[in-house]
Structure 1
Amino acid sequence: MNKALLAFVPVALGIFSCTAQAEYRVREVGSFHIGGHEVVLQGLPQTKISFTAGMAPVTVDPNGQFETGQMYVQYVKLAQPTAPLPILLWHGGGLSGVTWETKPDGKPGWQQFFLDHGYDTYVSDAVERGRASWSRYPEIYTSPPLFRTKKEGWDIFRIGPAEGWAPDPAARRAFDGTQFPLAAYDQFAKQAVPRWATNDAATQAAYDAYVRQVCPCVIVVHSQGGNFGYTAALHNPDLVKALVLVEPSGAPDAAKVNAATVKGIPHLVVWGDYLDEVPFWAPLVRANAAWRDAVNGAGGHVEWLELPKAGLHGNTHMLMMDKNSDTVAQLVAEWLDKQKLSR
């Protein structure tokens, strides 16, 4: 589809199911890998493996050259974007770019929302996630993969209280008024991918290379992506024109980092509901508040959006998947409009 002019007419073609769907033309749909480096493995034993039933075993040699530390990016470029800059959507821990695509209940996600609002969109799978691919452990990755259980996601993502979890979906009890589509929780859990605890440096290097290749831009980050987004802005303050942080799970330490570096980059930090119900979140909110105060104290502009105080109740950590996700995205879009972004 590269370079083609494709008309997306949702009612006629049934391609998208969003209500009030915009009509627009797509100029290009594509992808690329970025970041990473070569690793050479030597001295590993060969093995005999039969890859399909009835196939004679063949010798598999794990020694040789490999690429590692790369990330994957998919983009959709509009023929006539109305937003001045592309928007980059970065996922959180144990997840991938699917976070921003179709929601677990089958409704359009934020990628679709921002396309509708005239943005070229870039959705990435960070190092070690999804289509970025994986590397051997322990020869290249120095720690084993970690896998999130459905109960851990239920607890940390604030779908419901710990005592509300049950293996049987019919017996689960979410927080009162939750906006997460509870019937789609198991569908959401299918998005989980392995993660590693020792690849942050490679991930940051790939994100920085990504910013240098694609931006100037707007970056929207979620959860673990928060620290990568903050740091990418610190490393590339001339290329990141706005930073939206959706419940970031980390923040720079103002005692070690010069907050004035990013004083020219407007920040919006968005928080959902039930934060007081899950102690895990208290120190993370404090760390982000400290960085907010440091940037604002240096002459920057960091806005703090607590959705309950804005009249939106029931949002979980996965607020881009909640039933009112378009309402939240609209608040983000309106904030971006106020920044009067330009290249």
Structure 2
Amino acid sequence: MDLKEIRSFFVGGNPVTLRRQPVLRQRLAQGATERHINMNGDIMTGQMYVQAFIQRNPCSDIPVLLWHGGGMTGVNWETMPDGRPGWLQGLPNDGWNVYVCDAVERGRAGWSPYPEVWSQPPLFRTKNEAWQMFRVGPTDGYHTDPLRRRAFPGSRFPVAEFDYFACQWVPRWSGHETITTAAYEALLDITGPAIVIGHSQGGGFALRLAMQRPEDVQAVVALEPSGAPDDLLIPRLCPPHLVLWGDHFSEHAIWRDYRGTVEKHCSQLRLAGARVDERDLPALDIHGNSHFLMLDNNSDMLLAGVTTWLRSRLSLPDRGTDG
């Protein structure tokens, strides 16, 4: 890895004026007395946080954008729960310029007041729900006592670090597709043509932006996308898509429904002439993967497959021969 620059910035966001807020009196600093806090005035809302890792000699002029899933942040791509380096290290090591995001309302992007700006309070994910939604183990396999939890046999997720993984989950809001899409579009305005790697909810946004901005989305890699657009016309020149699916769908009705939506979208893309590669890992004799493919114990192998696919579809030279 030979980085020229690491920088961060915000994209998107709109000014909003708060009115009729009560003036509070609270202590905000250690050893200080209470003071008046007046939250009436102008704020920004709908912004997204981005961190960029720029190479001195990138393998391609096309950067990679990393979009996380629901209730998560860009931390998903950094260091894995068991301490292994994440895809945010693997991709720059392979020569790519990388932009990793905390989407609207997540992590360093910040919140907005509710119900003044956002109509609903946030949703918080429990470990009980995540155990089965992330397909780490069966629905009845979670227990408050880690020693009594029951994961799927041969699970590739770092099960012993599940509680530590839960530390990085953040609140989320429903119904924010429009403002989140606008922020991702604002990022594409800055980066220009890019590759989008999206996980779960981020994968669904990647599928949408490939339809809305085909001139800027050069390729899509969707890791278990949790949805797909059903109201957009497929562009004449649609970028190539790679979709990866893990294991244990037969044990989860919600995920079977999500997957059915995405597979229908992929079929429509193929009928329109797009190149769409779907990889069902168990069908390839790769078993035990959870919903978090990039955190499982074979994630390095999966990333190598992704970068090989990208080089092939975008006609890029192998890293060893690109000078």
Q: Same fold judged by TM-score > 0.5?
A: yes
Q: Give me the whole-angstrom Cα distance separating, in 1, the residues matched to 2:50 and 2:253.
A: 34
C-alpha contact (below 8 Å) 1:47/1:60 kept by paired residues: yes
| CA-to-aligned-CA distance 1:92-144 (integer Å, 9 cap, x gap) | 00000001000000000111111111101110000000000111111011110
Match of 1:176 among 149, 153, 165: 153
Match of 2:253 among 260, 279, 284: 279
**Within the alignment, does 1:269 sit opposite 2:246 as a pair?**
no
Match of 2:297 among 323, 327, 343: 323
**Within the alignment, does 1:115 sit opposite 2:89 as a pair?**
no
C-alpha contact (below 8 Å) 2:157/2:289 kept by paired residues: yes
1:3-18 matches, cutoff 5 A = none
Residue 258 of structure 1 is matched in structure 2 by 233
1:114-133 matches, cutoff 5 A = 114-133=91-110
Question: In the TM superposition, what is the alpha-carbon distance from 1:341 to its structure 2 partner?
Answer: 4.8
AA aligned to 2:289 is N
Residue 314 of structure 2 is matched in structure 1 by 340
Question: In the TM superposition, what is the alpha-carbon distance from 1:264 to its structure 2 partner?
Answer: 2.9
What percent of counterpart residues are identical?
Answer: 44
Gaps of 5+ in 2: 317-323
Question: In the TM superposition, what is the alpha-carbon distance from 1:53 to its structure 2 partner?
Answer: 4.5
Question: In the TM superposition, what is the alpha-carbon distance from 1:340 to its structure 2 partner?
Answer: 2.5
Secondary structure at 1:184 match in 2 = helix
Which one is further off, 62-71 or 113-122? 113-122
Q: Give me the whole-angstrom Cα distance separating, in 2, the residues matched to 1:107 and 1:134.
A: 30
Which one is further off, 229-238 or 137-146? 229-238
Residue 20 of structure 1 is matched in structure 2 by none
Residue 197 of structure 2 is matched in structure 1 by 220
C-alpha contact (below 8 Å) 1:39/1:68 kept by paired residues: yes
| CA-to-aligned-CA distance 1:165-189 (integer Å, 9 cap, x gap) | 1101111110011000111111110
Question: In the TM superposition, what is the alpha-carbon distance from 1:73 to its structure 2 partner?
Answer: 0.2
Gaps of 5+ in 1: 1-23
C-alpha contact (below 8 Å) 1:100/1:110 kept by paired residues: yes
1:44-193 matches, cutoff 5 A = 44-193=21-170
Q: Over aligned residues, Cα RMSD in angstroms? A: 1.2
Question: In the TM superposition, what is the alpha-carbon distance from 1:262 to its structure 2 partner?
Answer: 6.1
Secondary structure at 1:245 match in 2 = strand
Segments of 4+ moved more than 2 angstroms: none
Q: Give me the whole-angstrom Cα distance separating, in 2, the residues matched to 1:169 and 1:106.
A: 19
Residues 340/227 of structure 1: CA separation in 2 closer, same or farther (3 Å cut): closer
TM-score, with structure 2 as normaliser = 0.95
| CA-to-aligned-CA distance 1:32-66 (integer Å, 9 cap, x gap) | 00001000011211010111344211000010000
Q: Give me the whole-angstrom Cα distance separating, in 2, the residues matched to 1:262 and 1:292.
A: 15
C-alpha contact (below 8 Å) 2:204/2:222 kept by paired residues: no
Which one is further off, 199-208 or 68-77? 199-208
Aligned residues, how many? Answer: 316
Q: Give me the whole-angstrom Cα distance separating, in 2, the residues matched to 1:230 and 1:319.
A: 18
